[in-house]
Structures are given as structure tokens and as C-alpha cells.
Structure 1
Amino acid sequence: MRILEVREHTFPISSPIRNAVVDFSQMTLSLAAVVTDEVRDGRPLVGFGFNSNGRYGQGSLMRERFVPRLTGADPEALLDVTGQIDPHRAWDVMMTNEKPGGHGERSVAVGVLDMALWDLRAKLEERPLYDLIAERHGSGTADRRVFVYAAGGYYHPGKGDAGLQEELRSYLDRGYTVVKMKIGGAPLVEDRRRIEAALSVLGPGQRLMVDANGRFDAQEATAYLDALEEYDLHWYEEPTDPLDYDGLRQVAERRTTVPLATGENLFSHLDALNLARYGGLDPAKDYLQFDCALSYGLVEYLRTLDALAPLGWAPERFIPHGGHQMSLNIAAGLGLGGNESYPDLFQPFGGFPDGVAVEDGFVTMPELPGIGFEGKSDLAQVCAELAS
């Protein structure tokens, strides 16, 4: 088989929301389609991939460097011994002549294409990606029941405490048991009021997460921590800059109860290894949120898991950022601790296939070929338009 063409389109996923660092009024996303000469049901077989919110579309990088390497390679260099596309070999081709380090935005561009290649490979085998991942890289059997939490609670113009409570109630009413809100974009006294408003709508067995999006230095982060430990929180996310390992260590040493979560803005297995070595995190308490769509894809994610396992990090302590179906498949295939979800934001790219409901905080993966994008009608339409 051969890759005939790779198409990319940049889509707006703008919203009037903001976190402590970024507003989403100009946010974009890249959708890629890898078109092959393999024909199924009278149509070329196509794999799709896109990047998570928070990093902009990467069309120029894909068009200038990574797509030409894929389409210009000897077709045999991209295939395994069965004659089918091998995402690992394709990853090596894409990263030809790229220096180590400096991961930046290229990790997002490669992550998009890696996602499309894994979607393609699972479609070639006519089975769900999570099943393929479990067989090749997991225990052999996927766990189709995956924990998900609802991410939201952004700062929104004109939306006060009552609006925040209404939003979180809507997630709880849809079956989520853990919800997340933003902090750090307002004074501490105001954020405490918002947190208490959010906690007031939770019932038995329901939990709240808070996310500072790397806004604080160590002193500010520990000041917030002292306040947050008065509450029974599921976790305190990204209290410091993603690369401030010493600052994070200071927060970790100061805390007594609240778990910490971070990692969504680290883009390689070596960055993840440095976080585990120097960030002061506890593999028995804390969580890691690396997002394959932003960090070179599943190929690199597997390296990250392998690098951190000797330091005591089990798969269930990994709960990826991004709220997309690729991470859901990885979570099911590798037995991760769950996945982020955006019930209302960044559509049509967030969410689950049609008919998949949240029950007691979990979803059950459908048996769809590939990642399952075609099972989500609004996303399937966008993908079909790019592929046609």
C-alpha cells in the first residue's frame, strides 16, 4: 500500500472563555487526512488526526517538513513485514534530520500525523484502535470501560458563580462524577468564593479538580495550596510553569493532602523523565497528563510510559489531557487511569461517538474501526469533507 496524499485544514475552535494564562478567542486546530491507495467499500481508506486545544493549528509545519517526508519516502520504508503501514517506522521517517530537544510546536505537528497513521492502521485491520494497542503494547486485552472527568469552569465574561454552578450541575446530570474548574485568573479571595460555589453543587461521591494552567511561581502556588488544602479536592493541576521542576517540588513538599497533576505541556519522554526525577511528585498520590496529540503521538507516549515505569509510575496514574478519542483509545488499550473530557467545548472535535453515554463517571468504548471518529456524526462530516 502507498500513501497517496496528506491533506490538512486549520479550523477555528474559538470561544469567549479564558483560563489563567490563555484566552481562546483566536484558538485554532489542525485536522489531517492521510489518503491511501487501499480501497474499502469503493473508497480510498483514510486515517484522520487532529491536535488538542490550547496549541494552535500546525499546518505550515506539516506542509513544509513532515508531510513531504512521508509522501516522498520509499513506500516500503513506511510498512512492516505484513505490508501494512507501520506508525513507528513512519514516525522515524517524519523525524529525519530533526535535532534532539527543542520540541516546541513540531511535537504537535507530528502528533497530528501520528494520530492519523494509527487510525489508518487500525482501519486496515478492521478493528478498534484500543484493541490493536492492547495486543501490541498492553496486556493483550483492552479495558473498554474508561473513567472520564468533565473539564470546564473557565472564566467567562458575564458568567458569575451561579453560571459556574449551572455548568457543573449539567455535567453531573450527564453522569460525570468528577468535574474541573479553572483558578489563578482572579485574586485568591475570588477564586476561593468560586471554589466554594462549585463544591456546594456536589453530592456524595462527586469530586472537584482545580487547574491553574501553570500560572504561578512557587511562592504563589504554595499560597494557593495552603488555601486549597481546606477543601477535599481530587487534584490541584499545573500549579507552576511546566518546566519549573524545582517550583513544583516546593509545592509537592508543602502539601499534606491534595494530589497534584501536571504534564500536559511537556512534549517528550525525556521531559517527562526530568519531571519525574526532579518535580517532587509522588507516584502513589499524583497524576500525569501527557497528551499524545501534543507530544509526538502514541509512538512517543509509549516511550514515556517505559521511561517512567522504573520510577514507580504505573499506567493508572496517567490521565491524559485533551478530551479526544485518541487518548480514550490509549486509556482503554493500556489500562490508563482515565481521560479528560470536554462535554460542551471545542466541538465537533471533543466528545464521544454518538450513543456513548457517561455512567457513574465511566464510558464504555464502542466497537468502531480505527479511533472511531466516523461514529461521531458531526466530526464524521468534517472528516469526510476533508477526505472527499
Structure 2
Amino acid sequence: MKITAIREATKPIKSDIRNAYIDFSKMTLSLVAVVTDVIRDGKPVIGYGFNSNGRYGQGSLIRERFAPRILEASPESLGDDSGNNLDPHKIWTTMMTNEKPGGHGERSVAVGTIDMAVWDAVAKIEDKPLYQLLAERYGDGRPKRKVFVYAAGGYYWPGQGIEGLEREMRSYLDRGYSVVKMKIGGASLSEDCKRIEAVLRLLGPGQKLAVDANGRFDLKTAVEYAKALSNYGLFWYEEAGDPLDYALQAELAQHYAGPMATGENLFSMQDARNLIRYGGMRPDRDWLQFDCALSYGLVEYLRTLEMLKEHGWSTSRCIPHGGHQMSLAIAAGLGLGGNESYPDLFQPYGGFPDGVKVENSYVTLPELPGIGFEGKADLYREMSALAS
């Protein structure tokens, strides 16, 4: 049993939207297929992966460093002890051969993309949903197929205005979401407050709004927003300052009693650990948004979860960024608090398998082998074209 090919293509997910920091007019991602010589139903088992939005495609790193290391390794060195499947941990170690510690920027995205495809292949070889495989290997064997999801949107669109924002948010509520998220920091504080209040007026009992500054603020501005946001009873106040400014995050906690969220731009267990050590995050109310597709994959994410346990955090405080099915499977298999969702953006890579409905901000995962990409027709067309 061996990996026979690793294929990569850079795909556009461009859009006219912007957040407080960047626009998405030239955004790309890497799509990867890991082809094995294991045959199921007369065809080779192929695992698929891609990186989350917000970071660009990593084709050169995948083609020049990480894929060649896997393909040059002996098949025996990449297999599990049974000899009947791949070992994602051994493959991860092979990819990271000759890589110095630190520098968790672009390479973490490249490795995370391949890692996703490897786990997809591993679960397919076992003919199990990835969430079931994870529950058996790392949990109590009983996945929680019903997963909390929230609708992320509320970007700054050209000419959208408050009426456009209201239409967008109303559409998410109509589709079954009870928690929605919008961007802040791309306008003045007074204008953002008007936008927030417009969305709050749409919400009914049990429905909540989260806001996301995408790391835009210095400490003074973050605190000014905190004082204003304290009046709204938000689901969370997300990523106020630079993701590596742990002192800012810790100080902000002294000014904002409500839940805060951050972590989507921390790309290693070590950076996540520094957030927990020095960022003033509160395990009784705050949320952690580490995204395995951007941070060296599930192999590293497992290390992050173990670190959190050692520091007294529950996995239920993790709601990953990215809105992809890999994190959805991890949430079900490892008992995370939920997952981000993009109902309309970054398609066909975001969203759920066809037919999956949102009910009161929860979805129930279907029983599909692997991550379940084959259940989403528009996405699988892109993937199967790459594999062929």
C-alpha cells in the first residue's frame, strides 16, 4: 500500500467583499488530491484537501518541498502498524523533515492542506466517516453527529449599505441559523454601531450576534469598541487586535466582560499555547478558533487539544474558523463546541453535503466515508477533475 501521486491546483475564491484588513478580490486556495493504490469499488482511494479562506494557495511549497518528501519516502515508513492503512502522524513527520522550529506562516498552510487529504484517505480506506474514526481513536467511540454552526458573513460589500446587511442576515436566520456573525472595524465606531443595531433588531428570542474585527485594532481602539459593544449582549467579540499581541488581548479582558474569541491566525500548538499562557483568555466564557487547515493539519491540532486539556480548557470551547467540512468532522468526532459556516461565500469549498439542513444552528452529519466531500456535488466536481 502506498501513495502513488499528490496533485495540487491553485483555485480562485475571489470576491468583492472586504473585512477590516483585506479584500478578497485576488484570494486563492490550494486544492490537493492524495492518490493511493488501495482499490475500492474498482477505483483507487483518493483523499482530498484544501486550505481555508484568508490565506492564499500554497502550490509552490506543496510541489517543491512537502509532496516530494512524501513521494520519496519508502511506503513502509508511511504506513500504520497493521500495514493496511496510512499513518497520518508518520506522514506529517516526513513532511516536516529538515524544517526548523518556528516560522509558522505559509508552510503551516501547505502542510495542513496535505494533512487534510491524508486523513480523508485514511478514513475512506477504513470505510468510515472521519468523525467516527476520530471518535474511536481519540474519544469514547461515540461521535456527536449533531454539531453547532453559526453563519459568518456581514462583510463590507461595495454599495451594500445597512439595508443590504439586513437582507443578508435575515437570509441566514431564515435558513435556520440562530447565531450570525458580521464584520466590524472597516468603518467608524459610530457607523459600526449603527450596523450592529440594525442586525440586533432582526433577532428574535434565542438568537445572537457575534462581531469580528479581523485583528484591526490597536489597544486604544479595541477598548473603545469594547465599551460600546458591552451594551449589546453579543455572542462574542472576535480578534480585536493582532493575533500575536497577547498583551493586548489580556488587557482587553479587563475592559470587556462578555465572551471574546480569537485564534484563527495562530498556526501552531506553540502559538496557541502562548495565547493560553499570556493572552488572558477565560475558559469559562471565551472561544478558541484554531483552524487545522491553516495550522499544520489535524496531527498538530491534536497536540493543541492536548495542550488545552493540560491548561484546564475543555474542547467544547473550540469553534474552528474556516467553515469547511474537515473542521465539521473534527467537531463531531472530538467533541468541539461547533464550527463556522459560510452559507453563501467561498463556494464550492464552504458549506455542507447536499441535503444537510440547518435547524436552530445545528446540523447533523451524514454517514459518508472520509470527510464527506463526495456528498457535495459542486465541490466534488472540482476535486474529481483534479484527481483525473
**What's the TM-score bracket when you normalise by the shorter of the two chains?**
over 0.9
Find the aligned partners of 1:215 and 1:245 in 2 and give their Cα distance. Answer: 14
Q: Deviations over 1:290-336 (max 9, x none)?
A: 00000000000000011111222101000000000000000000110
Instruction: Kindly indicate whether the alpha-carbon contact (under 8 Å) linking 1:12 and 1:26 is maintained by their aligned counterparts in 2.
Output: yes
Aligned equivalents of 1:139, 1:191: Cα separation in 2: 44
Counterpart AA for 1:179: V
Question: What is aligned with 2:99?
Answer: 98
Point out where structure 1 has 5 or more consecutive residues left out of the alignment.
none
Kept in 2, the 8 Å contact 1:70–1:93? The answer is: yes
Q: Which residue of 1 aligns with 2:313?
A: 313
- Which residue of the partner structure matches residue 32 of structure 1? 32
1:326 aligned residue: 326
**Residue of structure 1 in register with 2:264 after alignment:** 264
Residues 237 and 262 in structure 1, CA contact (< 8 A), matched pair in contact too: yes
How many residues in Structure 1 have an aligned counterpart in Structure 2?
A: 387
**What amino acid sits opposite 1:100 in the alignment?**
P
Separation in 2, partners of 1:308, 1:356: 31
Deviations 1:242-289 (A, max 9, x none): 000001111011112x21000000011111010001001100010000
CA distance in 2, matches of 1:219, 1:74: 55
Instruction: Give the secondary-structure state (helix, strand or coil) at the position aligned to 1:249.
Output: helix
1:233-244 matches, cutoff 5 A: 233-244=234-245
Report deviation, 1:39. Answer: 1.5
State the match for 1:358 in structure 2.
Answer: 358
Quick one: distance in 2 between partners of 1:278 and 1:139? 32
Contact 2:308 2:315 in 1 (8 A): no
Q: Look up the match of 1:134.
A: 135
For the pair 1:206 / 2:207, whether they are aligned, the reply is yes
Which runs of 5 or more structure 2 residues have no equivalent in the other structure?
none
CA shift, 1:217, in A, is 1.1
SS in 1 for 2:204: coil
For 1:306, the aligned partner's letter is E
Kindly state the Cα deviation for residue 82 of structure 1 after the two structures are TM-superposed.
1.3
Measured in 1, the distance between the counterparts of 2:309 and 2:126 equals 30
- CA shift for structure 1 position 139: 2.2
Tell me if the contact between 1:289 and 1:318 (Cα under 8 Å) persists in the aligned partners.
Answer: yes
Whether the 8 Å contact between 2:153 and 2:181 is mirrored in structure 1 is yes
SS in 2 for 1:253: coil
- Paired with 1:217 and 1:135, the residues of 2 have a C-alpha distance of 44
Task: Please state how far the C-alpha of 1:38 moved relative to its aligned partner.
Answer: 1.2
Deviating 4+ runs (over 6 angstroms): none
**Counterpart code for 1:242:** P
**What is the TM-score with the length of structure 2 in the denominator?**
0.99
Question: Which residues of 2 match residues 153-164 of structure 1 at below 5 A?
Answer: 153-164=154-165
User: What does residue 10 of structure 2 align with?
Assistant: 10
CA-CA distance at 1:44 after TM superposition: 1.4
What secondary structure does 1:167 align onto?
helix
Could you tell me which amino acid in structure 2 is paired with residue 106 of structure 1?
R
- Using the alignment, how far apart are the partners of 1:310 and 1:377 within structure 2? 41
Counterpart in the other structure of 1:49:
49
The residue aligned with 2:77 is 77
Over the residues paired in the alignment, what is the CA RMSD in angstroms? Answer: 0.6
TM-score by length of 1: 0.99
AA matched with 2:339 = N
Between the aligned partners of 1:313 and 1:148, the Cα distance in structure 2 is 20
C-alpha contact 2:51 2:57 (8 A) present in aligned 1: yes
Secondary structure class of the residue paired with 2:254? helix
1:222-261 correspondence to structure 2 within 5 Å: 222-256=223-257, 258-261=258-261
Amino acid at match of 1:269: M
The question of 1:216 aligning with 2:214 is answered: no
**Identical aligned residues as a percent:** 68
Q: What secondary structure sits across from 1:254 in the alignment?
A: coil
- In structure 2, C-alpha distance between the alignment counterparts of 1:295 and 1:207, rounded to whole Å: 29
1:24 partner amino acid: F
Contact 1:139 1:334 (C-alpha < 8 Å) held by counterparts: no
